[in-house]
Amino acid sequence: MAHEYDQQEREKLLELARHTLETVVKTGKMPQVSPEAFAGHLSEKRGCFVTLTRGGRLRGCIGHIFAQEALYRAVMDNARSAALEDPRFPAVTPGELSSIHIEISVLSEPRPLEFSSPEDLLEKLVPGRDGVVLKLGWRRATFLPQVWEQLPDKESFLNHLASKAGAYADAWREPGTEVLIYHVEAFEEPER
């Protein structure tokens, strides 16, 4: 995905995510911000994820696959949710704040990927570039493109994604499987 956001916009969103994280963890309330401060590009509706890591390990990751609200609001909502509501982790504590690292991923609009067989699907996926939404009946899960770094093998990637959706590992091979792909523009805080 081409870079849509310049360095100043990236820094503004990262500062907003940091401010939101610290405010919600310390007070339980969302910070007040002026929408005018995020006019234009940053107020366009976009899907985004906020990923929190601590010591290089995932500490929370929540997002919207599809555009639901202005990007700056999505960053705030997802920073709060990643800190307090990721079901895989306890809520972030004030003592952890200085060691939490923030990454924001802004998503392109997910598009259906046409494929004729499990082998065709494997052939069409591009590791490192494609974010994947896997739909198995009523079950659905996604992995950001960054997950390819941990799961570079396409079959393993899809097996883990099916498991994340609550299905058996190779359920993605079944007829009726739907896949959407998207790309991200990801940016993160400098190392502290």
Q: 7-107: what fold? A: Glycoprotein, Type 4 Pilin (3.30.700)
H or E stretch covering 159: helix 154-164
Question: What dihedral do alpha carbons 53, 58, 59, 60 form, nearest 10°?
Answer: 100
Tens digit of pLDDT at every position of the chain (192 positions): 557 899 999 999 999 999 999 999 999 999 999 999 998 889 999 999 999 999 999 999 999 999 999 999 999 999 999 999 999 999 999 999 999 999 999 999 999 999 999 999 999 999 999 999 999 999 999 999 999 999 999 999 999 999 999 999 999 999 999 999 999 999 999 876
**How do the domains of the chain map onto residue ranges?**
7-107, 111-183
Instruction: Output the six-digit token pair for 128.
Output: 């490192």
Q: Is 56 left (phi over 0), alpha (psi -120 to 50) or beta?
A: left
Instruction: Please state, as a whole number, how many other Cβ atoms lie within 10 Å of the Cβ of residue 21.
Output: 25
Other CB atoms closer than 10 Å to residue 153's CB: what's the count? 12
**Local structure of 168: helix, strand or coil:** coil
pLDDT of residue 81: 97
Looking at residue 105, its amino acid is S
Of 128, 111, 105, residue with least CA distance to 185: 105
Q: Quick check: do 7-107 and 111-183 share a fold?
A: no
Q: Are 166 and 152 in contact (CB under 8 A)?
A: no
Q: In this predicted structure, what is the pLDDT of residue 192?
A: 64
Q: Give the pLDDT confidence score for residue 170 in this predicted structure.
A: 94
- Where do we find the tokens 């906020």? 50
∠ CA 71-150-48, nearest 5°, is 5
Between vectors from CA 151 to CA 149 and to CA 153, what angle results, nearest 5°? 115
2: which DSSP letter?
-
Task: Specify the pLDDT at position 1.
Answer: 53
pLDDT for the residue 58: 93
pTM, two decimals, is: 0.92
CATH of domain 111-183: 3.30.1490.150
Give the Cα separation of 110 and 89 in Å (integer).
27
Give 155-161's long-range contacts (Cβ < 8 A, gap of 24+).
155/122, 157/125, 157/127, 157/132, 158/121, 158/122, 158/125, 158/132, 158/134, 161/132, 161/134
